[in-house]
Amino acid sequence: MAKNKNNQAIWNTRIQNEASNLFQKVGNSIDIDKRLYKEDIQGSIAHVEMLFRQKIISFKIKNKIIYGLNKIYKEITYKKFEFNKKYEDIHMNIEKRLFQIIGDEAGYIHTARSRNDQVITDFKIWIKTATKDINNNIDKVIKSTIKLAEKNIETIMPGFTHLKNAQAISFGHYLMAYVEMFTRDKKRFLNNLDNLDENPLGVAALSGTSFNIDRNFTSKKLGFKRPTNNSIDTVSDRDFVLDFLYAVSVCSMHISRIAEELIIWNSDGFNLINLSDKVVTGSSIMPQKKNPDLLEYLRGKTGVSYGNFFSMLTILKGLPLSYFKDLQDDKELVFNSNDTLINCLKIFDEVLKNCSSNKKKMLELANTGHITATDLADYLVREHSISFRKAYQKTAAIVNMAEKRKKNLNELTLNELKKIILQKKIKLTNSSNVLIKPMVASLIAYIFSLARGLHFAIILKNKRKFDRKNFEKF
């Protein structure tokens, strides 16, 4: 390979006419894949070290190439490198610069490899790093959620089904549901790391190479567990891209769900939570407004993640084996989804730190909707040996009576309750009626909230025994 004195493309000997301006515009990807420069140089250094070990290149050539690559790394890092769209991508831009630095010996760098295996190697290494960054940000969200939950162990609110008051719960217990979701997100990303942990380098364009290379050596140098098995599958495989985009989409969906709930709870109709001025915006016309714009932003950005995921599925659905230009868009989709999710996780963490519960309003809402009705039915089963279905029917009748008389369940008198319950000869006395005798509704809600969230309360009340590192071990 001759030194490119005329600043021409690598393949100019075969393709003698210069590409049209339009093709150069759509055919290059350097504006996107220049983010892979660290991984590309890392992979190239491992590759030339392997070539030397296998006696394919000399010690002198190896050292000159590595010197040139390290120089290029510094130039890009310190923004002294000039990217040229004419050379399409990060691989050719680096190779062209290497020719300028060390001369003809730069031509040895591409021995026994193709851009097909080169780009997948770079991309897998990048996704590994990105995944760790995402999980670190998920950890921060988990810790902020736990911190908010710790402040609200005894904050009573109604749990909802169909957005209707259902049963009394602790707000802290509710928040811990999202800790479970985000913990699954972490596991999902880590599972992806295991699936992609195979080294593509060395399969070349699609059928391997005639050189006596050592793929186990490059696998170890680049942090992969093993080389890939099938060269044709390797250059066409983008399952690891789909896995990453899917994990991003699910995590985004979890963020969107809680953002939607916080938007609802912050509305004047519910007023269950308060957001500080740090995370709200105003109105251009209505002076009184404080809008939860950041939460709405989080909810909207989920569509971006979904769109990128479905775009990649669509690109792959009609591709024969092995490599096609269609696959060039994979990096833009992944970079966009990654950046969007990282930004959303940071925003959400900030929202959590500036969110507080309106405990009085939560308790007031818990005192509506007869949310202790299930506990009454359970009591009738447990204390009076009737089937749950019969107890359910009796309790439903009691609820109907309470609604008709515009009372809460705790406001019904013992005589009113006997009119319904004694129809089935259930013995009801002042001493046995521990659930439905007149009492403060908040106390009822408190008792049964802690009963349903007992495991949660034990964990958080024994803070010294609670190991936050459990959320970092995944």
In the DSSP assignment, the letter for residue 36 is G
pLDDT score at 446: 40
If you average pLDDT over residues 96-124, what whole number do you get? 97
Burial of 153 (0-12, 13-18, 19+ CB in 10 A): buried
Q: pTM for this structure?
A: 0.87
- The amino acid occupying position 460 is L
If you average pLDDT over residues 69-81, what whole number do you get? 98
237-259: buried (b, 16+ CB within 10 Å) or exposed (e) per residue?
Answer: bbebbbbbbbbbbbbbebbbebb
If you average pLDDT over residues 337-346, what whole number do you get? 98
Q: Determine the Cα–Cα distance for residues 200 and 225; give it in Å rounded to an integer.
A: 11
pLDDT score at 410: 85
pLDDT score at 423: 67
C-beta of residue 120 within 8 angstroms of C-beta of residue 200: yes
C-beta of residue 139 within 8 angstroms of C-beta of residue 471: yes
pLDDT score at 414: 84
Phi and psi at residue 466, in whole multiples of 5°? Answer: -85, 115
Is residue 435's pLDDT more than 50? Answer: no
The larger pLDDT score, comparing residue 63 to residue 2, is at: 63
Please provide the average confidence, as pLDDT, over all residues in the chain.
Answer: 88
Catalytic center residues: 162, 283
Q: Determine the Cα–Cα distance for residues 291 and 300; give it in Å rounded to an integer.
A: 15
